[in-house]
Chains A and B, each alone.
Chain A
Amino acid sequence: MADLTSNFIGIKSPNPYWLASAPPTDKEYNVVRAFKAGWGGVVWKTLGAEGPPIVNVNGPRYGAVWGADRRLLGLNNIELITDRPLEVNLREIKKVKRDWPDRAMVVSLMVPCDEESWKAILKHVEDTGADGVELNFGCPHGMSERGMGSAVGQVPEYIEMVTRWVKKHSRMPCIVKLTPNIADIRKPAEAAKRGGADAVSLINTINSITSVNLDSFSPEPMIDGKGAHGGYCGPAVKPIALNMVAEIARDPATAGLPISGIGGVTTWRDAAEFLALGAGNVQVCTAAMTYGFGIIKELTAGLSQYLDDKGMTLDQLQGRAVPNVTDWQYLNLNYVTKARINQDLCIQCGRCYAACEDTSHQAISMSPDRKFEVIDEECVACNLCVNVCPVQDCITMEELPLGAVDERTGEPVREYANWTTHPNNPMAKAAE
């Protein structure tokens, strides 16, 4: 069994799976259940400033997008930060950390954007013995209307300022949680780094309306006929999260900044992908909310088996795919592939034909007896046929070897060359 022990910015946990700051980590009862199930750590649901707790809506907090068999593909919420008294949360955090010293206990925070507010809450958190704090600059709904959450996260200068306060008033490791509701994720990450953050975590949820009720014409989730945008999460957001993690991991300005990967982690495979793109650990929420804490057994066993199969350590996996994330301009324009249809696997549904004929390059032929074949003279290797084929591995992409003639262009396959040196590029530099 591969060793899954994790050390993320000095915070140790028996595995790299933390529960993200969210309803599953709002109180002792849930967190203890999670630790009993085997979770490596938690980020306690966001605490606010002292005073009367915030209130939540009393109608539905969640909206969802489902597949045909009600498989939950995406979840959206309009819940705010914890609505329990600060002292109750602090007392429970302290007790759980004392009872479960080997698990990571990070506390998420969101207080008004002034130094005194942050200084005050940090003192309280330090008293609990928690391992670190996570600054919630991500929540896109409700709190952002009050100048907190993503309202801070969308202004890099505020991120830097608040992070600086936190590092000034606390010795605890500080993770800055980023909102994806921004044009360029690298800017807030750079700001966090400038402010002295030990790590960033991302992504928080994405502004979203899950559906519109076509009888009442209200967005979902609906509260008394009205709806406000919520934060979207779950399997549907994973591709967006992967890209944002990779952008930060490969940007020279932020390279090396530890990342806690969040966004649609549902199986060990999702976690491995985040780790390969540079995340130091992952945080999970929607999968646990959908299936319960028991999924941790698959998450840990799966990752362990994968590492064993590959003969890799967790450290060797981390960041392994980062060097392969590049800009379009550096992609090899002389990498030529052709679609290949395995006739033994083909079930003759004709979806590749419809897709190619109607929406692409007319590069698949159809015979009267429903045999589908690729026309190499037309195939641009777009991969659409592969993606719409319902049979796995029935259509594959075959690379043409160096020197082979591409039937479409009549040109032989040449050595690596990219757009930066392409004759059609007005900015091209002459090849050396």
Chain B
Amino acid sequence: MRAMSNSVTTPGIQPGRLAAEHYASHFDDLYPNYDPHEAMVAADRCYFCHDAPCITACPTEIDIPLFIRQIQAGQPEAAGKTIMDQNIFGGTCARVCPTETLCEGACVREMAEGKPVEIGRLQRYATDSLMARQGHPYTRAPSTGKCVAVVGAGPAGLACAHRLAMHGHEVTVYEAQDKPGGLNEYGIAAYKMAGGFAAREVEWLLSIGGITIETGRALGRDISLDALRGEFDAVFLGMGLGDVNALGIPGEDLDGVRDAVDFIAELRQTDDLSRLPIGRDVVVIGGGMTAVDAAVQSKLLGAERVSMVYRRDRAAMSASDYEIEHAATEGVTIITGATPVAIHGQGAVEEIEFAYTGGNESFRLKADQVFKAIGQKLVPLDGLAMAGRKLAAQPMPGVWAGGDCTDGGEDLTVTAVAQGRDAAEDIHAHLTSA
């Protein structure tokens, strides 16, 4: 095929910029799992703090010193169980959590020497050990005869569904996409979830039983909230943020301008990365994790120049320092304090114009591809109580909500899991009281 002759300098949006063998290595695990000896050495650094700050810093409150001690004691599967007791997506969280601002940021060794215990990687070791074991570690309580509908098969919805199933309820999950997993499946950089981990994790989670997933069924399109409320004893909404913010500037509709979430989803679902087209000069607008994931993966696909442009200063970026450094290491140019004012081009994007925030000066970046990563927003639903621009935790009687579609906490997988789990406990208490 002609595509094979493309290189990083081929103009336009082109597939196959790299030699075939580079794709696999570029998108492999960023950090491979520890081997057992590495895990023992890393675990030995934990001080088993009293009332440990790392636990408090974890939205799901995993007993981190306990699971690390279980690794030290040679039972990583037991460590995995300690994690999963609190966070059934412990495997994903081990891979994607911004640990530097959560558990590892709170680790006393971070304060002492700037080198925290590598909690994320130890969690990966523990959860991988548990998941490699035959059989699911949780069993279901006797059937309660109650049925719960969950909207959205992402971390919030599935964490909720798993906990409900464990308590003996029957759960039906409605998922708008073709596959379950939510952002784990569609929205996170491939090198964080290498080896089809998102799908494996969902399969493992569902093996508890009692959970039916109906894919391709979107709330408001294929199903109505009223119908769910009529059919089920309770409803949990965890459909995430279905819409994206627009730039609202001239040229936004030019060819080559695209939402970063769509690009990442396409990348995640492609079975041949060498056939995925990418620009030579890519500009990503935004300062969050989605922006970083889009920028880094553009680079990994062979884009020659990738810039990530954010309108405020670096400290205000919602991507973690670690993520930003990773992007810089991969060769992404990071520009802060610049707001996009226009996208220029004849039919397709050729340049994007920025103004320095709070000044008159402007500049243009050459671009044949622009990814917008300036935030996602809720698709509004009638009759639900709101908290700001998001749903309240219990937006109407008999209806609970959690994850990115709700207010409270950051839009992190770990936060979504905590909210889904806690909603399940609340629903369970509600369904079994009196």
Contacts and interface: CB of A to CB of B under 8 A. Distances in A.
A350 B51 contact: yes
A349 B44 contact: no
A348 B72 contact: no
B41 A347 contact: no
Nearest to B50: A350
Contact of B47 (A68, A70, A351): A351
Interface string A179-191: 0000000000000
Nearest to A348: B108
B53 A370 contact: yes
B43 interface: yes
A68 B53 CA distance: 24
Interface string A55-67: 0000000000001
Interface string B39-66: 0110110011111110000000000000
A69 interface: yes
A391 B50 contact: no
B50 A68 contact: no
Given A347-B109, A347-B111, A348-B108, A69 B48 contact: no
Contact of A69 (B44, B53, B112): B44
Contacts of B43: 68
Contacts of B109: 347
B111 A68 contact: no
B48 A351 contact: yes
Interface in A373-414: 390-391
Contacts of B51: 350, 366, 370
A141 to B, nearest CB: 28
Interface string A66-104: 011110000000000000000000000000000000000
Contacts of B48: 351
Contacts of B112: 347, 390-391
A68 B72 contact: yes
Contacts of B47: 349, 351, 390
Given A349-B50, A351-B48, A351-B50, A69 B111 contact: no
A70 B111 contact: no
Interface string A343-371: 00001111101100000000000100010
A253 to B, nearest CB: 45
A69 B40 contact: yes
Nearest to B45: A68
Main secondary structure of the interface of B (DSSP, over half): helix
A351 B41 CA distance: 20
B2 interface: no
Interface in A315-333: none
Interface in B12-64: 37, 40-41, 43-44, 47-53
Contacts of B52: 350
Contacts of B49: 348-351
B44 A68 contact: yes
B354 to A, nearest CB: 43
A350 to B, nearest CB: 3
A370 B108 CA distance: 11
A68 B108 contact: no
B40 A348 contact: no
Contact of A348 (B37, B41, B44, B53): B53
A349 B108 contact: yes
B108 A353 contact: no
Interface in B85-134: 108-109, 111-112
A347 B108 contact: yes
Nearest to A391: B112
A69 B48 CA distance: 18
A351 B50 CA distance: 6
Contacts of A366: 50-51
B67 to A, nearest CB: 16
A354 B108 CA distance: 15
Interface centre among B43, B48, B50, B112 (most CB of A within 10 A): B50
Interface string B120-151: 00000000000000000000000000000000
B348 to A, nearest CB: 56
A142 B50 CA distance: 47
B384 to A, nearest CB: 37
Nearest to B41: A69
Interface string A147-162: 0000000000000000
B65 to A, nearest CB: 10
A351 to B, nearest CB: 6
Contacts of A354: 50
Nearest to B39: A68
B50 A70 contact: no
Contacts of B108: 347-349
A103 to B, nearest CB: 39
Given A69-B41, A347-B108, A391-B112, A353 B50 contact: yes
Nearest to A394: B112
A68 B37 CA distance: 8
Contacts of A67: 44
A390 B37 CA distance: 22
Contacts of B40: 68-69
A69 B36 CA distance: 11
A390 B51 CA distance: 16
Nearest to B51: A350
Nearest to A357: B50
Contacts of A70: 37
A93 B53 CA distance: 62
A101 to B, nearest CB: 46
A220 to B, nearest CB: 15
Given A69-B40, A351-B47, A366-B50, 13 more contacts: A68-B44, A69-B41, A70-B37, A348-B108, A348-B111, A349-B47, A349-B50, A351-B50, A353-B50, A366-B51, A370-B51, A390-B112, A391-B112
Task: Across the A-B interface, give the 3 residue pairs with the lowest CB-CB distance, nearest first.
Answer: A350-B50, A68-B44, A354-B50
Interface of A: 67-70, 347-351, 353-354, 366, 370, 390-391
17 contacts: A69-B44, A70-B37, A347-B109, A348-B53, A348-B108, A348-B111, A349-B47, A349-B49, A349-B108, A350-B52, A351-B47, A351-B48, A351-B50, A370-B51, A370-B53, A390-B47, A390-B112
